[in-house]
Structure 1
Amino acid sequence: MGARSESKALEAINEIKQKDPDAEIEFLNLDLSSLVSVVAAARDLQSKTTMLHGLINNAGIMGVPFALTADGFESQFQTNYLSHWLLTHLLLPLLISTSNVTHPGDVRIVNVTSGGHNTFAPDGGIVFDDIQLQSKGPMVRYGQSKLGNVLHAKELHRRFGPKDGDPKAGEIWVTAVHPGNIYTNLTKQATGSIPRPVLQILAPLGRCLGILDEQAKGGLSSLFAIASTDFKRSDSGAYIVPYAKIGTPSAYAQDPALALKLWDWTVLELEKKGVLGDK
C-alpha cells in the first residue's frame, strides 16, 4: 500500500486486517509530490518481490490552490499524472516479466481518473506550451491532470495491451476508472475553488442529498478492473464508470495522437530530471 503518510496507511491496513486477519499488506513509502520518492518506492518494491500482478494508480489531489512541487511541476499535474506515469514506467519490467510467466489477464494496470477529465480539461485537452496553467482555475488544472490519466492508460494499452488474435503471455490489461462522486477528504480539501468553511458545509450536505456516494463504493470499479473475472480481455483500454460499467471518455481522451504526444512529452520531461532509469 503506497502512501505518503505511514500512520494513515497503517491505520487502513489494521482496519483491513480486522476484517481479514490473513491479509498480507505492507506499507510502501510513496510521496507523489516528489519524483525522488517515486524512484525510491519503485526500487523498494522491486527489492521485495519478483512478481507484480496489479498496479492501481489511485492517489490524487483536487482543486487545490496553485503551487509548484520541488520538481518544478504544478502540484496536481505531478501528483495525479506525472508521478503515476513514472511509477508505472519503473515497475513495467516487473509487470512484463510477471505477464510472461502467467495467464493473459493475470497482470493489470488501473489508472484512477475522474469524470472531471471531461468537465474541466482546458481547450485542446493538454496545454503543452503552458502545462502549469497558472492563470487558469484549479479545476482546469485538475481536469488536465485527470485527462492525463486516461491518455496514459490508452497509450499503455496500445503498447502493452492485448493485440488482435488469441490471448497470449506478455500482454497487460489496462484501463482508466472514474470511481464516482464519493464522499472523501478529496471533496473537503478543494480549497482552491471553494473556501474551506463553505466546503465543510457543502461536502456533508452533498452526502445527505445523495450527490456524493459512500466511501465503500469508491473502490468498486477499481476492484472490478484489477481483479474481476467479469473484466474481459476486450475491456482492456476501456474507460470504466460507476459502478463497474464500460463508459465513454471525452473526445480528447479518445485521441491517439494526443495520447502519443503526451507520452513523448512526459518522457522528455522526466529524462531532464534523470529519473527514468535504464528502461
Structure 2
Amino acid sequence: MPAVSFQGVAKTYTGARGTLRALDGVSFDIEEGEFFGLLGPNGAGKTTLISILAGLARATEGRVKVMGHDVREDYAAARRSLGIVPQELVFDPFFSVRETLRIQSGYFGVKRNEAWIDELLQGLGLADKAHANMRQLSGGMKRRVLVAQALVHKPPVIVLDEPTAGVDVELRQTLWQFVAQLNRQGHAVLLTTHYLEEAEALCGRIAMLKQGRVVALDRTATLLAAAQGQMLRFKTDDPLPPELAAQARVTGRMAQVATRDAAGVEAVLARLRTAGVRVEDLEIGRADLEDVFLSIMQGARPGAPAVAGSALEARA
C-alpha cells in the first residue's frame, strides 16, 4: 500500500477572468519510507497539490489517498496520517513553544506526549526556547516550531513545503538531520523545494511539475545519469560571446556551459580565448540536478507525457 497516492488529480479554478487549470491529471505514488521530491517552477501546481492532500482544497477530478485513507471520504484518518510544514509562518502569539506543541498534540487526541515533545525540542534546537512566547522567536525559530508541530503526533507521512526558505545554514542542517532520522525509521517524506541541491542529496525519487502536469518522474540517480556530457563552470567579469551566452547559465560572475564531450570543452575554451574573455576558477564536472531540471523545464511541452531519465539523453 502506498503511503500517498495521487490518481488523476485535476484542479480547475473558475473566476471573472476565465478558467485556470492548475492541475491536469497528476498521478503518482509515494511508497512507505520513501523520501520523495516534488519540484517545479513557481505556479507549477505544487502547493495546490499539497493543499488537496491536506484537505485545504478539493480536487475537481481524481482521488488522493494517505495510508489507504481517501482524503475526502475518510478525512479524519487521512489527517491523522499527515504532518505538514507549510510555506507560511503561521503561529498563535499567545502561547509558549511547549504550550503550542501540547495544544497540537491535543488536536490529534495524543495524551501523555511530554517525552516526544522533549525529543522534538532537543532534536530541532528548541530546548532553550521551550518556555519562550512565540512572538519572541525569530523567523527561523518559528519555522522550527512549525516542523515540531507537524511531527508532534508522529505521522507516518511528513510533507515539507519549502521548509528551508529564508532560513540559515544551521537550521537547514538541524532540520535535515532530524528528518533523515525519521525517514530511516520508516516515515515517508514529501519535499518541495527550490534548493535543488537539497533534493539531489535527500530524495530517492523525484517528480517534476510544469503547468499542472508531471513532466518527469524517475529515481534521482537515473535522472542524473541520463544527463550525459560535461558541464564547464567558470567565473568571469567579461560578457560572453553571443553564441555562448545563448546557451550558458549565468549567476553573477559564475557561468556554466554544457558540452557533450572533451572536444566540446576545448571548443568552448577556444571561443572564450578568441573573444578575449578572462576566465577564473575553471572547473569541469558532470551535470547536477539543477542542470537536469532546467533541461526538462525548457524541453517539456504542456500536454506532453511524463518523461523518465532516458528522455534526457536527447537533450544532453
The verdict on a shared fold, with TM-score over 0.5 as the criterion, is no
Higher fraction of helix: 1
TM-score range, shorter chain: under 0.3
Larger strand share, 1 or 2:
2
Task: Output the TM-score relative to the length of structure 2.
Answer: 0.25
Larger radius of gyration: 2
TM-score, length-scaled by structure 1: 0.27
